[in-house]
Amino acid sequence: MKPVLFEGCAGWLHEAAGTTGVVLCNPHGHEAMWSHRAFRHLAADLAAAGLPVLRFDYPGTGDSAGTDADGEHIAWCVHGILGAVAALREQAGVSRVVLCGLRLGATLAVLAAEALAAREPDVVAGLVLLAPVVSGRAYLRELRALHTSWVNNVIPDIELTPPTDGSLDVLAYRFQPDTVTTLEGLRLARRRGCPAPRVLLLDAWPGATSPVAEMGTLYRASGAEVTLGTFGEYPGMMQAAEYAQVPESAWQEVLAWVRPAVAAGRRCAAPGLPAPGNESPALECEVDGVREKRVWLDRGRQFGILCQPARRGASDVAVLFPNTGGNHHVGDGRVFVSLSRELARHGVTALRLDLSTLGDSPAPARQMSIPAVYAQSACDDASAAVDWLRAQGYKRIVMSGVCSGAFISLHVALRNPAVNGLVLANLAKFRWDDADTAAVNERVQSMRGYVAAVRRAQNWQRLWRGQVKVWPILSGFVRRCTRRVVQRGAAAVARWRGGDDTTTVTGFARAAMRELDRRGVQTDFLYGMSDIGLEEAKDRFGSNLEALQGLGNIRVRTLPTFDHSLFLADSRAALGAHLVRYLEVQLARGEPVEVSEDGAGALADAVSGTASA
């Protein structure tokens, strides 16, 4: 697997010896984020079966250049697929290609295949259409419902002003007005003919009125060889990345369908691959006014993109962004791409990192879970990345993460004295213990969030229609209140005995803040006003955060529009603005104070222990 760059698009080439290759066409927005691991493993499986595969980010998405606000986004995505086909033919030496798309990516694959058929009729060997969007209007209706549900249930206390320019917000992504207009008029079943001789359709919602089945009938009438199957694993795949599953049966069906293409031709050997860490033209590029370099670190176990100022002679400050949850290094709403490029334009280097089990690292896990996200090994990986940055000559290292990324950043800073600063967004846990693992499937909301949700008329309407399951919410609420009482009691007993007991979460959190303050690690906490993390902080430090008084290097800031996952554009902008201000202070400082490895030794031992409360 090697990085490639073509026409401003960033991608990966999974090499094999076949003369027929596969271009993977991503879905859009949150669906691309959630399915990244599944598509990564599909690419690896296809390459292992003998087909060269190219997967990539459309223009204005992922690690590619530009933004999705550049206009004519659908047309640019189709153009990107055509560029990917050309790149695959040139770099892998294939003569024919299969276009494999998921959701809107399947729709774009059809449009690209039509364009190719008009120019070179024999290039497209087949189409693999996974849960394709047949009706753009129905797709938009589904997206609107999803976003409305998220607003009502997750951020009921934040008042939002819907866009008035015809654009559509869907979780962390915005569909621009021209994209919405194009999708409104998109009807695959009304297009003429079939642009490929063979088609595999996997239907996530089969039935007598399925538009996918109708599409298959039309393609058969056009003379194509059509295989229609079901995609029962789709719901398991299309969920938040830390829960998302690889659809193993569906991928086996895809492999079986493309196997004739493997048998049709095979070169003597695949082109040579550069070893991870070796230079190649695609490893470093200029994009959006900055320089980006693909790097492998920690003995080749982890992958990252080092984003640097375009001009040489950058500052000695570097920012490290670890993964959020199970997401790959791009982040929801491209938050880490946007932030790292903005910081580079301010003269600061940033590394957006994939831990060893995530994203585009060489050996990502096929399964992910919340406990794995918070595991000791994740903190070890990020600490190795800090050491790598120091070895590159960066003397001041700031870690910044969101939710679980904030957790990882905090724990790395406690263990690794090379960390000089922290900017932590919506840290929800100070330590992960057995009780957290047991409660991992509970739906969690802050007290303020519960109150705001109760006040929303839409939620009562959903309750009366039977669309809300009350018991899981109530039982989770009761268990959470019980844990809070137990934790506060344990902390009070520890203080009564003469100090903070670091075996308790409260004692550990307070000791951690004192240690960071002693070492001069400027630690900024950012919270939404009703975020569950702010409630956790008040549980640990007092309702007015009084336990933090006198700690000059520890600051807590609450923001009115700052959702937990930073789906809102205003939330991402707030983090960016704070980080820029924070780094301006860092740049004005002198050399960092060197701290010995023993500085955090006692607390580091407590980190790896199990909290009792």
What's the pLDDT score for residue 324? Answer: 98
The full DSSP string for 73-123 is HHHHHHHHHHHHHHHHHHHH--SEEEEEEETHHHHHHHHHHHHHHHH-TTS
* Amino acid at position 57, single letter: D
Phi, psi of 224 (to 5 degrees): -80, 150
Say yes or no to pLDDT of 312 above 90. no
Cα within 13 Å of Cα(403), Cβ side: 18
> Mind listing the pLDDT tens digit for each residue in 127-155?
999 999 999 999 999 999 999 999 999 99
User: What b/e readout covers 112-138, taking b as 16+ CB neighbours within 10 angstroms?
Assistant: bbbbbbeeeeebbbbbbbbbbbbbbee
**225 or 599, higher pLDDT:** 225
End-to-end CA distance of the chain: 45
State the Cα–Cα distance between residues 513 and 45, nearest whole angstrom: 46
What's the pLDDT score for residue 536? Answer: 96
What's the pLDDT score for residue 494? Answer: 58
CA 171 to chain centre: 13
**266 or 608, higher pLDDT:** 266
Q: Which stretch of 318-322, 359-363, 475-479 has the lowest confidence by average pLDDT?
A: 475-479
What's the pLDDT score for residue 489? Answer: 64
From the list 18, 21, 53, 93, the residue with the least C-alpha distance to 263 is: 18
Asked whether the beta carbons of 178 and 470 are under 8 A apart, the reply is no
Q: Where are the alpha helices (DSSP H) in 300-426?
A: 335-345, 370-373, 376-391, 404-415
Say yes or no to pLDDT of 410 above 60. yes
Cα within 13 Å of Cα(64), Cβ side: 24
Q: Which stretch of 40-44, 130-134, 378-382, 594-598 has the lowest confidence by average pLDDT?
A: 594-598
- To the question of domain 284-607 being in CATH 3.40.50.1820, the answer is yes
State the Cα–Cα distance between residues 263 and 22, nearest whole angstrom: 14
Q: Could you say which DSSP state residue 324 is in?
A: P
What's the pLDDT score for residue 507? Answer: 95
What's the pLDDT score for residue 496? Answer: 59
> Mind listing the pLDDT tens digit for each residue in 82-130?
999 999 999 999 999 999 999 999 999 999 999 999 999 999 999 999 9
Average pLDDT over residues 348-361: 98
Which H/E stretch holds residue 290? Answer: strand 290-297
What's the pLDDT score for residue 70? Answer: 77
Tokens matching residue 417: 């004295």
Give 2-132+196-204+226-264's CATH code, choosing from 3.30.460.20, 1.20.1090.10, 3.40.630.10, 3.40.50.1820: 3.40.50.1820
Asked whether the beta carbons of 97 and 22 are under 8 A apart, the reply is yes
Burial of 496 (0-12, 13-18, 19+ CB in 10 A): exposed
Q: Which stretch of 169-173, 416-420, 478-482, 543-547 has the lowest confidence by average pLDDT?
A: 478-482
The full DSSP string for 350-380 is EEEEE-TTSTTSSS--S---HHHHTSHHHHH
The number of beta carbons lying within 10 Å of the beta carbon of residue 140 is 19
Which H/E stretch holds residue 439? Answer: none
State the Cα–Cα distance between residues 323 and 301, nearest whole angstrom: 15
How far, CA to CA in Å, does 89 sit from each of 182, 255, 398? 30, 20, 42
What's the pLDDT score for residue 538? Answer: 97
Domain 2-132+196-204+226-264 shares a fold with domain 284-607: yes
What's the pLDDT score for residue 483? Answer: 56
Q: Which stretch of 158-162, 379-383, 438-442, 471-475 has the lowest confidence by average pLDDT?
A: 471-475
**41 or 274, higher pLDDT:** 41
Residue in this structure with the two tokens 């999708």, named with its chain if needed: 183
From the list 294, 290, 259, the residue with the least C-alpha distance to 275 is: 294
From the list 606, 200, 259, the residue with the least C-alpha distance to 415 is: 606
Q: Which stretch of 295-309, 547-561, 576-590 has the lowest confidence by average pLDDT?
A: 576-590
Greatest distance between any 2 Cα atoms in the chain:
82
What's the pLDDT score for residue 460? Answer: 47
From the list 31, 159, 22, the residue with the least C-alpha distance to 105 is: 31
Asked whether the beta carbons of 540 and 509 are under 8 A apart, the reply is yes
From the list 326, 341, 613, 327, the residue with the least C-alpha distance to 485 is: 613
Share of the chain above pLDDT 90, in %: 77
CA 167 to chain centre: 23
* Amino acid at position 214, single letter: E
User: What b/e readout covers 410-431, taking b as 16+ CB neighbours within 10 angstroms?
Assistant: bbbbbbbbbbbbbbbbbbbbbb
Instruction: Output the average pLDDT for the chain.
Output: 89
What's the pLDDT score for residue 266? Answer: 58
pLDDT band at 409 (very low <50, low <70, confident <90, very high): very high
State the Cα–Cα distance between residues 78 and 111, nearest whole angstrom: 7
Supply angle C-alpha 112, 169, 456, rounded to 5. 145
Say yes or no to pLDDT of 599 above 60. no
Q: Could you say which DSSP state residue 193 is in?
A: S
Residues in the chain: 613
Helix axes 177-184, 73-92, angle to 10 degrees: 90
What's the pLDDT score for residue 277? Answer: 44
Beta strands in 483-553 (DSSP E): 522-528
State the Cα–Cα distance between residues 541 and 531, nearest whole angstrom: 16
State the Cα–Cα distance between residues 518 and 503, nearest whole angstrom: 21
CA 100 to chain centre: 21
Asked whether the beta carbons of 361 and 355 are under 8 A apart, the reply is yes
**585 or 112, higher pLDDT:** 112
Q: Which stretch of 89-93, 339-343, 607-611 has the lowest confidence by average pLDDT?
A: 607-611
* Amino acid at position 420, single letter: N
What's the pLDDT score for residue 434? Answer: 83
The residue extents of the domains of the chain are: 2-132+196-204+226-264, 284-607
Sheet containing 20-25: order of strands: 2-6, 9-14, 53-56, 20-25, 96-102, 124-130, 198-203, 225-230
> Mind listing the pLDDT tens digit for each residue in 232-270?
999 999 999 999 999 999 999 999 999 987 766 555 544
Say yes or no to pLDDT of 423 above 50. yes
Q: Which residues contact 585 (CB under 8 A, 6 or more apart)?
A: 522
Between strands 396-402 and 349-354, the pairing is: unpaired
Say yes or no to pLDDT of 610 above 50. no
Q: Which residues contact 345 (CB under 8 A, 6 or more apart)?
A: 289, 290, 309
Tokens matching residue 560: 């009115």
State the Cα–Cα distance between residues 40 and 447, nearest whole angstrom: 39
